[in-house]
Structure 1
Amino acid sequence: MRSQRNMIAVVFLLCAVKLHCSDGIAAQNQACVPSHEVACFVPADYLNASGSVSVEVCVGKKLNISLEHFSEFPVCHWIRGANPILTVNGSNSMVLPPLSETDSGEFTLSCEISDGTRSSLAVSLHVVMKRPTKPKLTLDKVDSRMRSPYFTCISEGFPKPTLKWTGNNDGTNVPANSVMAISTISSSEYSHCGVLCCATNAEGQECSQVYDYDLDADFMKHDEVSKVTVSPGQPLLLRCRIKSQYRLQLAWMNGSKIMNTNILSCSSTVKKEICIKSDGHKSSRMAYLFIESVNGDHGGTYTCMSPNNKTKSVDVHVQAEGFLSVQMDKSLIIPAQNASRSGLQATVSYHPVLQRCSWEAPDKNVTKCIRDNWVTKHRIVKLRDVLKSGDYKLHLEAGGQIETKTISVCVVDTPKFKFRINKANTFTFETASLVPANYTWMSCSLSNDSICETDSSWEEIPDASQTDTDVFCEKTIKSSLSRDLVDGHHLRFCLTNSVGSWCQTQYSIYYTPSPKASTGSSNYDNSSMMVLKVGSLILLMALAIVSMVLMYFVKKKKPQYQPQLQIIQMVGPNDNDYIYINFKDFGYDLKWEFPRENLELGPELGSGAFGMVVQATAYGINKPGVSQQVAVKMLKEKHQTVEKEALMSELKMLTHIGHHANIVNLLGACTDSGPIYLIFQYCCYGDLLNYLKTNRERYHKSVTDAFNKDRFSSLYHNLQPRKRSGELDTAVDNYVPMYGSTTRGQEDIALLTDNSDPMIHEDPDDQTDLQTEDLQT
């Protein structure tokens, strides 16, 4: 029992965090040391955070989960779904083997110590690959005068990248850790051309270059860069060269100041902020300017000058902030036959590297961008896929900036035409096509079909051309033409849009004589048609007017809810000089309000056109703690505002009347926060009409029969000396008092109100007379 009392369930709600691929999580506990091979995760660092933890680890790394925060060594389980993947007992860490992308998923870390205290943590593990970093190009082995210096290229990535040099040369690989690649190559291999080093893995390629300038050319070559943007901390390597058999000395200038080659000479032992290295190989004379770690002071214009005053310059801009911009068309329209071999592309500008680039198709399928290889900047990003109509999105990320651009693609297929002859004496062509578009009708009056096959045989039908100015990739187009406008046996419909022009020819159409050939008959037909149209229009107008009048009277005569009791006010000396009092503007006395929660509704007792009455149980309506059967009057669910106002007016009038023995009295009402309920006394035997029908066998057929049988001495059929318990008194001595009660009720209604406001019941009959349990009416 004590052990159970000490069981404490502790759930660590952790915030979303990210393990950087190069460093892992900086663990507060030094038991776990992040490295290129191991990523560290310490749950104790996030005990007070909220949310779930997202852990990102690079492919090929181990994940070390530190358990040092426990007071004692626990038993811990690394669980995926419901299956434990790894269990440790009495250890201060849990180490997962080198991870692959298939190890990504949702996990739970569950631990328990000896006193029963448990803790659990939900972990969303993402095992990712990482593009190679932009290679760092440095100048090495610079001390020897008899040997050209070496280029060194360094890059990191997951998986480990492969390094290649211009000309697809491998260079010499230098041993490094599992994520870093290092390669060196002699500069003598590139004494006549520029140099690139490219790092490649499954995620892509990144390249860096030696910025090379040929002084023998009087112009900037395509691979020579006039403006260079570099981030602080990155290396910068410039080189100029010239062909000469003599040992010429090339000089570098910073702005207008010549840089001293002797003072700034590169050395492997003495590191200099800026160094210069002169070199020669075969007929080339070269001068290098190398900055191992650029800062803001290194920006400016650097110029290389030969003894014969040949120069080339480069502007160096040091920029810490990243930027990203993209240029792409907003729309593209292509023929369907080109959709499979066409693609999309955009022009991008960014700094320092383009980290992510992907295309999202209209069906939400995401594809990585296609980038050019062996370039230092990916200026063009492409999509190679079978295009379909819809919106394509380009997602980019560079320098901390995220950009999304959208292009609407419309694939236009050859339109399919549908031709039909309508009963309304017209021809119709229907198709679906790109718009804006122009439609043209043409006819051929020659009887020989072969002659109509030439374009010159066709004539455009006047006033039959149309232009659709809407802008849609695909729109259903319908165009109709009257038979009277066609002069010939053949008809052609042509559609032209921005993609092309298409025509559909319909031969041997039904020929109708032209208006010129049968003027008299045409005029007669036109006159008859006009009379028919006018007559039809007049008939439709008459039907519309009659329908509106009928709707008006039906709406006017539609029954509306009216209370059965009305109070009148005398306005003259005669009995008929009165008006009805409208209780709409009267106030409602809240003393009649009954708590809605104390009312339990039961079965329906009856209903009318607008409302209904249900049986209910009211708790504490007369005495606290005592329930009573009542009848609740309410409107039906679908009612108008005017009916609700009428019911409210009836409530106000009933509160004005008060209580009486021969009136079904109002007990209370519910008007607040819900439908309006009027709570009345419950008459268990219902209305008098149904009561008499139900018990007809217990009564004499007429009052005369009663007089003829001993003057009411015998009032019952099969009269028994004593009635059984619960047997109803269905005698004429109750039959007559029933209507006596009704008469007194009418009289009492009038007595309840003073002479200034007399009251009348507008509908007294045996259906509005209700029977109580003691047969009071």
Structure 2
Amino acid sequence: MAVSTLDGFNYQTSNTNCCATNSQGKECALIYHYELGKPMRESEAPQILLNPGQSLALRCKANNKKTPVEWFFNNTKLSGLKTLWYASVFKYFSIESVSEHNSGEYVCKSEDGQSKATQVQVQEEDLIEILELNENVRIWEKEKATFCLHVQVLAYPKPQCDWITPIGTKVQSDETHDIWNNHTFKLCNPEPGQYQIQLRADKKLVTKNLSLCVTDTPKFTVLQNLHEVTCMTNSSLPQALSWKICPLPANCTDSAMWKETSGNLQEFPDSGQFCQKNILFFKACSEVHNHNVQCCLTNLDGSYCSEPITVKSCTFMFHMYTYLHDEVLIHLYLTITSHWKVHTMTILCFSLLRLLGLLGHGTDTDVLRAYLCPAGQPHPSTFHPEEKGPLQLLRKTLIRKLCGINQSVCLGCILPFAQ
């Protein structure tokens, strides 16, 4: 018969780890300590999680040895062991092997009205309960460097946490807080995108999806062509778009002189950043010529407006763009494509083409030819047979130049229209 020896049992006034060793190995159990007459401390467990067959040991201290102290289970008095230490009295209660019917509230009470309580939960299965997790996170760009995704869980036995990043890599999370089966895990300085968190406690696995949107104050670009005023920006999905106009020569410093009209919400293409859209919307030039104009956007973060621009007479703009030299326009195209990132380049290139009146509505295609020749036929807004003179020549010249610069932007169906 194996004989057990008690290892490392010393009197303490806090939780004590009690260990026994025999020929079969070593096993430890915690004696949970509570002290009456003082506020509940972090070291005093408000909840104890156990599996069937484990032991439970409770100790209660009162600083007046003349005051009777007792343990109660669900308001039923328990028998336990009493010890004295100088002016203090200790009352112990223990269960060698717990089962589910031992779950409930255990309260230590003294006759002078002081008490401390803990909730014991005995469960067959492993436990993971998510206490705090924001599944849709939005932060400002300036906060990103110091920001951490985090999850707080109640788990038993001790859990492990992995984060699956937007590019599919698995990152094991370090535990930043562990007190009485409450665990906090963090992932700091994350990139925007969709994440999955995997929490495992022995045989139990829980997964949750969450997203991180990193946003910033929208930066607007407002351009005017022959037919319309174009507003461009990157933003999270807008809730409202609008235009503000102030007629000239009115005093536009007076907010009462500005009139706001709604813009049309539509499907906007994704930008290169998660949860950010390429926003492009228009106002007919004839509605705003000889006005100061602002475009505005409202999203989940607030409302924003561009700096005002003055829209000149559309007739004047027609003559100016008609006589621009096509080599200058091609130079602008090459400059944009050489210095801007792909998604920004796409927006600016299409804006330039709209400025020239070459395109009607396209804003986001893989290559220019996919817009100009969908299904092998010229886009109906690409060519306007009724147009005569320099503008028609300019359109054809620009198409020829684009085809010569990069063959991938043209199909054979374009070339006959450019001859």
Corresponding residue number in structure 2 for 1:211: 32
| CA offsets 1:181-203 (integer angstroms, 9 cap, x no match) | 99xxxxxxxxxxxxxxxxxxxxx
Corresponding residue number in structure 2 for 1:234: 54
Q: Are residues 139 and 468 of structure 1, via their aligned partners in 2, closer, same or farther at CA, if it must alter by over 3 Å?
A: farther
Corresponding residue number in structure 2 for 1:252: 71
Q: Are residues 478 and 252 of structure 1, via their aligned partners in 2, closer, same or farther at CA, if it must alter by over 3 Å?
A: closer
2:210 to 404, 407, 422: 407
1:493 to 295, 301, 311: 295
1:482 to 278, 284, 290: 284
Tell me which amino acid in the other structure corresponds to 2:195: Y
Corresponding residue number in structure 2 for 1:465: 263
Shift of 1:242: 2.4
Corresponding residue number in structure 1 for 2:344: none
Contact 2:15 2:43 in 1 (8 A): no
SS of alignment partner, residue 364 of structure 1: coil
Shift of 1:279: 3.4
Instruction: Find the aligned partners of 1:412 and 1:455 in 2 and give their Cα distance.
Output: 31
2:228 to 421, 426, 431: 426
Contact 2:223 2:230 in 1 (8 A): yes
Shift of 1:427: 1.1
2:195 to 392, 395, 398: 392
Shift of 1:488: 3.7
Instruction: Find the aligned partners of 2:31 and 2:254 in 1 and give their Cα distance.
Output: 64
SS of alignment partner, residue 485 of structure 1: helix
Instruction: Find the aligned partners of 2:174 and 2:134 in 1 and give their Cα distance.
Output: 18
Instruction: Find the aligned partners of 1:214 and 1:410 in 2 and give their Cα distance.
Output: 47
Instruction: Find the aligned partners of 2:234 and 2:161 in 1 and give their Cα distance.
Output: 36
Instruction: Find the aligned partners of 1:413 and 1:150 in 2 and give their Cα distance.
Output: 49
Quick check: which has more Rg, 1 or 2? Answer: 1
Contact 2:71 2:78 in 1 (8 A): yes
Identity of aligned residues (%): 26
Shift of 1:290: 3.7
Corresponding residue number in structure 2 for 1:321: 125
Shift of 1:415: 2.8
Shift of 1:251: 2.5
Shift of 1:318: 2.2
Instruction: Find the aligned partners of 1:492 and 1:437 in 2 and give their Cα distance.
Output: 17
Shift of 1:149: 11
Instruction: Find the aligned partners of 2:31 and 2:13 in 1 and give their Cα distance.
Output: 15
Q: Paired residues, what number?
A: 305
Please say if 1:140 is aligned against 2:9.
yes
Corresponding residue number in structure 2 for 1:151: 16
SS of alignment partner, residue 125 of structure 2: coil
| CA offsets 1:670-705 (integer angstroms, 9 cap, x no match) | xxxxxxxxxxxxxxxxxxxxxxxxxxxxxxxxxxxx
| CA offsets 1:49-104 (integer angstroms, 9 cap, x no match) | xxxxxxxxxxxxxxxxxxxxxxxxxxxxxxxxxxxxxxxxxxxxxxxxxxxxxxxx
Q: Are residues 507 and 152 of structure 1, via their aligned partners in 2, closer, same or farther at CA, if it must alter by over 3 Å?
A: closer
Corresponding residue number in structure 2 for 1:193: none
Contact 2:137 2:212 in 1 (8 A): yes
SS of alignment partner, residue 248 of structure 1: coil
Q: Residues 539-618 of structure 1: matches in 2 within 5 Å?
A: none
Q: State the TM-score, normalizing by the size of structure 2.
A: 0.60
Shift of 1:428: 1.1
Q: Are residues 459 and 250 of structure 1, via their aligned partners in 2, closer, same or farther at CA, if it must alter by over 3 Å?
A: same
Stretches of structure 1 that go unaligned for 5 or more consecutive residues are 1-136, 156-173, 183-207, 262-275, 514-535, 541-777
| CA offsets 1:695-744 (integer angstroms, 9 cap, x no match) | xxxxxxxxxxxxxxxxxxxxxxxxxxxxxxxxxxxxxxxxxxxxxxxxxx
Contact 1:438 1:497 in 2 (8 A): yes
Shift of 1:377: 1.6
Please say if 1:456 is aligned against 2:325.
no
Bigger relative contact order (CA 8 A; separation at least 6): 2
Instruction: Find the aligned partners of 2:208 and 2:167 in 1 and give their Cα distance.
Output: 16
Shift of 1:222: 6.2
Shift of 1:299: 4.2
Shift of 1:504: 1.7
| CA offsets 1:342-379 (integer angstroms, 9 cap, x no match) | 2212232322221x211121122332224334512234
Tell me how large the CA RMSD over aligned residues is. Answer: 4.1
2:142 to 319, 323, 337: 337
1:351 to 130, 136, 156: 156
Instruction: Find the aligned partners of 1:487 and 1:421 in 2 and give their Cα distance.
Output: 10
Q: State the TM-score, normalizing by the size of structure 1.
A: 0.34
Shift of 1:153: 5.8
SS of alignment partner, residue 435 of structure 1: coil
Tell me which amino acid in the other structure corresponds to 1:366: K
SS of alignment partner, residue 357 of structure 1: strand
Shift of 1:332: 1.8
| CA offsets 1:623-654 (integer angstroms, 9 cap, x no match) | xxxxxxxxxxxxxxxxxxxxxxxxxxxxxxxx
| CA offsets 1:550-589 (integer angstroms, 9 cap, x no match) | xxxxxxxxxxxxxxxxxxxxxxxxxxxxxxxxxxxxxxxx
Instruction: Find the aligned partners of 1:152 and 1:335 in 2 and give their Cα distance.
Output: 46
Tell me which amino acid in the other structure corresponds to 1:422: N
Corresponding residue number in structure 1 for 2:111: 307
Contact 2:221 2:306 in 1 (8 A): no
Shift of 1:484: 2.5
